[in-house]
Amino acid sequence: MRKILLSTIALSTVIFADANVASTVAPIQSEKSLFDRVHAKGDLRLRYESIERDDKGDTYRNRYRLRLGLNIDVTDNLTFESGMRSGFANPTSGNQTFKTDEALSDYFWQSLRFNILGVAYKSANAKYKVGRQPYMMYRPIKSQLVWDNDISMNGVNYQYKDDTKLVTLGLNQPTLEEASEAKDDVNLVIAQYVHKTKVDAGKLNLGAGAYYYDGFKGNTTFFGSRKGNSLDANNLYANDYHLAEGFAELELKNVLGKPLKIAGGVVYNFGADNNNFGYDVAAQLGKAKSVGDWQVKYSYTDLEEDAVLGAYSDSDNFGGGTASKGHAIRAKYKAGKNLFLAGNFFFNELYASKSSTNVEADYERVQLDMIYKF
């Protein structure tokens, strides 16, 4: 804990010192009005969801997710970033179920929590972020093999990007999450490299990452659930999570008149001796960019119990976490300038270790969404 805080303070000092030097070139934007320097955005998603599984009763529910963001440009290079979302501080989801026995006003504002609160500094091709920020790791076709869409990082992160490569480094502390229930602090070191190559038909991305968690073995569950990960006889984490990731992604500009992406990725946990491998393959046709555009993505994922930290991987597929395998189909249509219609369909099989009946179980989930951005 002390080491990561000292490292954060040290790097913050360097960044702000750099910002002060750069201020001679990029002074405080006094020539711009406050309105010009403040950027607000948000989105509201309404969802109908059904979950049918062999080992438990079925679930049918209506849900919402609200996200609000507010950024302030302090200088041309330095930005204060903040954001809130619903979901009672769930680290991998902003979803909140509508309650039939309670007025919306009784729990709507209570569910909002900060998921972004920090500063970002840009310098040429580099970007530095300090505080609570959205993840910076590259994910091929937005794969959630290792990282859920909604994960935030709590610490200091750096990224360099140019036409041929993408480098991401970070020092974080997941136990700074508001909902964390771990008895001991956990540190997370991030390192990822992506090499980008142009090919005749599009672009090829090859990447590798190393994600080192320090402090999981013997710790209590992160957010009150093991999410498929192995526990010992005392219900403590039985393994550490020292992850190595590799992936390839091919982007083709025009297939049947639409852009096509194909990707595959693997992950291996050196912190566990068994059940420590996972992979996924995916393809996406189209991109919902302009009104009337659509996209559809298919993926197949197989995650052994301790291949990744279940608390941070995909929260929708398999019901979240690991110890499962199966198919996912995700589709999106842009119906208006700020309006999207989407559907997600999951056809999974839970390993016996994750099933409540201790035998393999089928898991099927359907999500129908309407998303409005503002």
Q: Which two tokens stand for residue 253?
A: 């500009």
For residue 232, with 0-12 CB atoms within 10 Å meaning exposed, 13-18 middle and 19 or more buried, which class applies? Answer: exposed
In this predicted structure, the answer to whether residue 91 has a pLDDT above a threshold of 90 is: yes
Q: Give the closest residue to 324 by CA, choosing from 315, 336, 334.
A: 315
Radius of gyration of the chain (CA): 21
Interacting residues of 222 by C-beta distance below 8 A, sequence separation 6+: 174, 175, 180, 181, 182, 186, 309, 311
Taking residue 35's Cβ as centre, other Cβ atoms within 10 Å add up to 7
336-349 confidence digits (pLDDT tens): 999 999 999 999 99
Helix (H) or strand (E) holding 22, with range, is helix 2-22
Which residue shows structure tokens 């976490």?
321
pLDDT for the residue 23:
42
| Alpha carbons 55 and 319: distance in angstroms, whole number | 13
pLDDT at 164 over 80: yes
- 8 vs 88: which has the higher pLDDT: 88
What is the rounded average pLDDT for all residues in the chain?
Answer: 92
Q: Helix, strand, or coil here: 230?
A: coil
- Would you state the structure tokens that stand for residue 297, as one six-digit string? 């993505």
Distance CA 239, CA 272 (A): 5
Nearest to 188 by CA among 147, 235, 246, 231: 147
Q: Which residue carries 């090499």 as its tokens?
A: 195
- Say whether pLDDT at 8 is over 90: no
Separation of alpha carbons 157 and 172, rounded Å: 8
Q: Which residues pair with 114 in a beta bridge?
A: 84
Q: For 24-57, give the DSSP string.
A: TTS---TTS-HHHHEEEEEEEEEEEEEEEETTS-
pLDDT for 293 equals: 98
Band of pLDDT at residue 201, cut at 50, 70 and 90: confident
What pLDDT, on a 0 to 100 scale, did the predictor assign at position 210? Answer: 98
pTM assigned to the model = 0.89
Which CATH number fits the domain that encloses residue 181?
2.40.160.10
Of all residues in the chain, the percent with pLDDT exceeding 70 is 92
pLDDT for the residue 356: 93
**What total number of domains does the chain contain?**
1
Q: Which residue has the tokens 């590798």?
A: 208
Domain ranges, residue 276:
2-373
